[in-house]
Structure 1
Amino acid sequence: MKEHQLGKEIIRLALPATVENIFQTLVGFVDTLLIAQLGLVAVTAVGLANAILNVYLAVFLAIGVGGTALIARSLGAGQLEKARRYAGQVQEVSIVAGILFGLVSILFGHWLLQAMGAEATVLEEAQVFFYWVGGLAVLHASMTSLGTILRASGDTVTPMKIGLMTNIVNLGLDYLLIFGIGSWSGLGILGTALGTILARLLGAYLLFREVQKTDMAFRLAVKLVWSDYKELITLTIPAALERLVMRLGQVVYFSLILALGTTVYASHMIAGNIESFTYMPAYGLATAAAVMVGQALGQKDLKKIRQIGLLSSVYGVLVMSCLGVILFVGAPYFAGLFTGEAEAIQQVVIALRIDAFNQPGLAVSLIMAGALQGMGDTRSPLYSTMIGMWGVRVLGVILFGQLLQWGIGGIWLSILIDLLLRATFLSWRFFTRVL
């Protein structure tokens, strides 16, 4: 009965987080379609700007990883005042990071975009978007941290509802501000930036209001003392490095794939876009595992921690295996939605059918990383990402894709090996810590 209740609690936390992630991905697709109406220059400009902004987001998410572990552990131990203090610290550190990234965007935005390879025509458009959205990165930081505080306290429904609302507002504002209405022709790419900013401002306000209604209501510190933030920063740094190592590895990894030819690269990106929908349940279960493991750690209940890790992984493998079957069977249809070229369709099908076998390993690796982070172990996911991205994927593309000339099959085979190794390593780390 106890295990049954534990399973229900995992699903209760995971389901809203999954829905939120799916909706954000869908909104990203629609947003890209709107921007595409402005032309390829606009798409390229926003893409380049977002490549840098995603690095900012990686840091904001890393702060959330550390915050989740500390808040959930304190709540599990019944230390509400301590949890409230950690909540304030998460928000304060996020605001400071957002302001710093905003200054970097304004002062060095032109240079950063040039370093990304932006040509003169793209650079002008990219700067407009980047100066506004990057300059006000504090709004994104605040939304991320406030959502983290609510999830860490066991409320994944409120961030989901507010996330849905702000994303819908974002789409509406984007359409209005990009294309205008009546005789007003709109603002083009500036409209995209302003729509994003206004939606994030609304989201930050709504999330802050909801946090202040809960037991996690906090006051921002007047004096920032390093020793008070040491524990949060210690957990945040490896989590931030893990995401940055992944991003940097992707840059090298994608450049190696591009060397295999435009068709291979385009097919790989199409397959990646299709796959992005399948791992949303694993992200939801990883969120649930992080929160529940942190709370169980505060209760010093190792048996419960083991059960959470095991049940979350079992649910993840079952759901993702079903999605893998759908990927395998529906691969030709999914590929045809993105391209009409026979060669590209064939390569996307190869990628998706290999990826169908990736799903169980992907589920376990994501969920175990979340569970470890909930225990305060942010180093193990960093090590697995370093080895997986640089030691397996990058070398795998060189060996299987280039030297053995297996093309896209070699690329996705290296992903399969990476995910199996990560799942094995992270599971070993988790269960050896709780035995």
Structure 2
Amino acid sequence: MKGTEKTEELLALIREGKAITRSGQIRLVVRLSIPAIVAQLSYILMQYIDAAMVGSLGAGASASIGLVSTTTWLFWGLCTAMGMAFSVQVAHQIGSGNLKEARAVLRQGIGAALFFSILLALVGVALSGVLPRWLGGEESIRHDASLYFLVFSLFLPVLQMNFLAGGMLRCSGNMRVPSQTGVWMCVADIILNFFLIFPSREIQIGTISVFVPGADLGVAGAALGTALAETFATGYMGWYLFVRSSVLRLTSESGSFLPKMEVVKKALHIGLPMGLEHIVICGAQIMTTVIVAPLGIFAIAANSFAITAESLCYMPGYGIADAATTLAGQSYGAGRFALTRRFAFITVGLGMAVMGIMGVAMYVWAPHIIGLMTPVPEVRELGVMALRIEAFAEPMFAASIVSYGVFVGVADTLVPCLMNFFSIWAVRLSLAALLAPSMGLKGVWIAMCVELCFRGGIFLCRLCGNRWIKNK
């Protein structure tokens, strides 16, 4: 509790225009980053557990999820963009000390996000039957892939509220609740998957045989377990945000949930480039899936496992990026531009250091990481190869991730979107299409490694300039 109070005291110095020492700035970055990293890791660990449990069913089951995974990321990204479009506005209002207006933006964000996510869910349901065929998946995995995406789509409004509530709490400076909720969500996912994926069976514990009931839903059970765990997490975070948050609770005043035009315009300015960026990135990932799909089930499964495993390495970067968005947003909202720049360089430096260490660990432990996810030798060999190639790109990947978090905090999203578009489509996809026919999956991951290094370089160049902070 003392740590939380100290964090709130340091954040209050930003709003009040008081000086923060360099050591105080570093402490604040670390205090916000650690719980944000835990939240991101727990969320990815949930995906890792899903992949490992489904992987025990065979390569076909894993490939069915891997086939549609890039499309689920696209929908996740759109929900994230919608949440951040309003969360960043809340951070700016908090930074300027206008807490009543921050709560008004929160209410309007809820109304807009619900409407948006329901429309998105309807689109997902409509696409679920034909998507695996469009992506070039083999006939044997299309049914499970469709079912997985259908369940995912039905729970999109819950996922949207999860992202919105978590984003609002983080932008207010509360990283603890989203972090703790993420851990409990991961635990709930394990328990639910245990009963939903597998059939009823006897489990031997020492000399005792225990009957365990199971729904035997397979791939659909993995989707349903994750969705139900997210529902529990969303309920708790929503309750905390509306009732307990010291800054944003809505119980003490009334207001409209209908978005006002001024707030909508700001949301579009922030969120539209982010949404387009996610479409660009995930569109490229879908194209990568199309490139990988002809390489066979083993390549599809290995590609999916490697992406999930790599996320354990880069999610700390996204956690630090969350802290960067909060600190940049509040200091920018307070009009303290020099402080905004200092927070930017501290967070980016920390992200590159942490992900550099994670890259070394990923290279060394790649056989063990992939081995936990699948027993299929052909898939394991390809997955290890992919992870060891990607390990070399992690520090520069961190530079792009955390820099982007800084830019989002100051509502500078259009140029980073264009940078991502050029980097991914001009560099990654061109190289992947060129190398895949002769090098197979190895060529696809070499292309990814080269592109991430290039992307990190151009983001660092923009961060070192001044144009990103002069758009208020």
Cα separation, 1, equivalents of 2:445 and 2:363: 14
What secondary structure, in the 3-state scheme, does the structure 1 residue paired with 2:466 have?
helix
- The alignment status of 1:177 with 2:196, answered yes or no, reads yes
* Stretch of structure 1 that moved more, 406-415 or 295-304: 406-415
For 1:422, the aligned partner's letter is R
The question of whether the paired residues in 2 share the 8 Å contact of 1:58 and 1:243 is answered with yes
How far the C-alpha of 1:418 sits from its partner, in A, is: 2.1
Residue 9 to residue 96, structure 1, CA distance change in 2 (3 Å): same
For 2:175, the aligned partner's letter is T
- TM-score, with length taken from structure 1: 0.87
- TM-score, with length taken from structure 2: 0.80
For residue 206 of structure 1, the aligned residue among 230, 233, 236 is: 236
How far the C-alpha of 1:143 sits from its partner, in A, is: 0.9
Q: Which residue matches 2:453?
A: 420
Q: Which residue matches 1:149?
A: 168
For residue 272 of structure 2, the aligned residue among 237, 241, 259 is: 237
Q: Could you list the per-position Cα deviations for residues 260-306 of structure 1 after superposition, in whole angstroms to 9, with x for gaps in the alignment?
A: 77777666555444422211221111111111001110111111111
- The alignment status of 1:387 with 2:422, answered yes or no, reads yes
Q: Which residue matches 2:466?
A: 432
Cα separation, 1, equivalents of 2:37 and 2:263: 33
What secondary structure, in the 3-state scheme, does the structure 2 residue paired with 1:278 have?
helix
Q: Supply the RMSD in Å over aligned alpha carbons.
A: 3.2
Cα separation, 2, equivalents of 1:343 and 1:183: 30
Cα separation, 1, equivalents of 2:448 and 2:59: 30
Cα separation, 2, equivalents of 1:291 and 1:12: 12
Cα separation, 2, equivalents of 1:371 and 1:335: 33
What secondary structure, in the 3-state scheme, does the structure 2 residue paired with 1:376 have?
coil
How far the C-alpha of 1:135 sits from its partner, in A, is: 2.0
Q: Which residue matches 1:297?
A: 332
How far the C-alpha of 1:34 sits from its partner, in A, is: 2.9
Cα separation, 2, equivalents of 1:340 and 1:137: 32
Structure 2: gaps spanning 5 or more residues: 1-19, 201-210
- The alignment status of 1:55 with 2:74, answered yes or no, reads yes
For residue 361 of structure 1, the aligned residue among 391, 396, 414 is: 396
Residue 220 to residue 362, structure 1, CA distance change in 2 (3 Å): farther
The question of whether the paired residues in 1 share the 8 Å contact of 2:301 and 2:379 is answered with no
Residue 220 to residue 96, structure 1, CA distance change in 2 (3 Å): farther
- The alignment status of 1:34 with 2:53, answered yes or no, reads yes
The question of whether the paired residues in 1 share the 8 Å contact of 2:329 and 2:409 is answered with yes
For residue 85 of structure 1, the aligned residue among 104, 125, 129 is: 104
What secondary structure, in the 3-state scheme, does the structure 2 residue paired with 1:279 have?
helix
Residue 314 to residue 68, structure 1, CA distance change in 2 (3 Å): same
Residue 267 to residue 68, structure 1, CA distance change in 2 (3 Å): same
For 2:215, the aligned partner's letter is G
Q: Could you list the per-position Cα deviations for residues 187-220 of structure 1 after superposition, in whole angstroms to 9, with x for gaps in the alignment?
A: 5145444433432322221111100122212467
What secondary structure, in the 3-state scheme, does the structure 2 residue paired with 1:221 have?
coil
Residue 161 to residue 132, structure 1, CA distance change in 2 (3 Å): same
Cα separation, 1, equivalents of 2:356 and 2:362: 10
For residue 217 of structure 1, the aligned residue among 233, 249, 261 is: 249
The question of whether the paired residues in 2 share the 8 Å contact of 1:173 and 1:195 is answered with yes
- The alignment status of 1:186 with 2:220, answered yes or no, reads no
What secondary structure, in the 3-state scheme, does the structure 1 residue paired with 2:412 have?
coil
For 1:157, the aligned partner's letter is R
Q: Which residue matches 1:277?
A: 312
Q: Which residue matches 2:357?
A: 322
Residue 393 to residue 126, structure 1, CA distance change in 2 (3 Å): closer
Residue 278 to residue 105, structure 1, CA distance change in 2 (3 Å): closer
What secondary structure, in the 3-state scheme, does the structure 2 residue paired with 1:164 have?
helix
For 1:144, the aligned partner's letter is F
Q: Could you list the per-position Cα deviations for residues 53-79 of structure 1 after superposition, in whole angstroms to 9, with x for gaps in the alignment?
A: 332211111112322321111111111
Residue 183 to residue 275, structure 1, CA distance change in 2 (3 Å): closer
* Stretch of structure 1 that moved more, 255-264 or 98-107: 255-264
Q: Which residue matches 1:97?
A: 116
Q: Which residue matches 1:69?
A: 88
What secondary structure, in the 3-state scheme, does the structure 2 residue paired with 1:110 have?
coil
* Stretch of structure 1 that moved more, 145-154 or 422-431: 422-431
Cα separation, 2, equivalents of 1:169 and 1:343: 28
Residue 348 to residue 209, structure 1, CA distance change in 2 (3 Å): closer
Cα separation, 1, equivalents of 2:67 and 2:299: 21
Cα separation, 2, equivalents of 1:47 and 1:409: 17
Cα separation, 2, equivalents of 1:79 and 1:306: 23
Q: Which residue matches 2:4?
A: none
The question of whether the paired residues in 1 share the 8 Å contact of 2:70 and 2:289 is answered with no
* Stretch of structure 1 that moved more, 146-155 or 263-272: 263-272
For 1:208, the aligned partner's letter is G
For 1:251, the aligned partner's letter is I
Q: Which residue matches 1:14?
A: 33
Q: Could you list the per-position Cα deviations for residues 132-182 of structure 1 after superposition, in whole angstroms to 9, with x for gaps in the alignment?
A: 441232111111111111011011110111121122112212222344665
Q: Which residue matches 1:5?
A: 24
How far the C-alpha of 1:370 sits from its partner, in A, is: 0.6
Cα separation, 2, equivalents of 1:255 and 1:42: 18
Q: Which residue matches 1:372?
A: 407
Cα separation, 1, equivalents of 2:311 and 2:324: 21
For 2:172, the aligned partner's letter is S
* Stretch of structure 1 that moved more, 121-130 or 82-91: 121-130
Q: Percent of counterpart pairs with the same letter? A: 25
The question of whether the paired residues in 1 share the 8 Å contact of 2:67 and 2:289 is answered with no
Q: Which residue matches 1:256?
A: 291
How far the C-alpha of 1:48 sits from its partner, in A, is: 4.7
How far the C-alpha of 1:257 sits from its partner, in A, is: 4.6
* Stretch of structure 1 that moved more, 20-29 or 414-423: 414-423
The question of whether the paired residues in 1 share the 8 Å contact of 2:63 and 2:301 is answered with no
Q: Could you list the per-position Cα deviations for residues 18-75 of structure 1 after superposition, in whole angstroms to 9, with x for gaps in the alignment?
A: 1122222222222233334555555444445554433221111111232232111111
How far the C-alpha of 1:339 sits from its partner, in A, is: 6.9
The question of whether the paired residues in 2 share the 8 Å contact of 1:68 and 1:291 is answered with no
For 1:74, the aligned partner's letter is Q
Cα separation, 1, equivalents of 2:92 and 2:439: 47
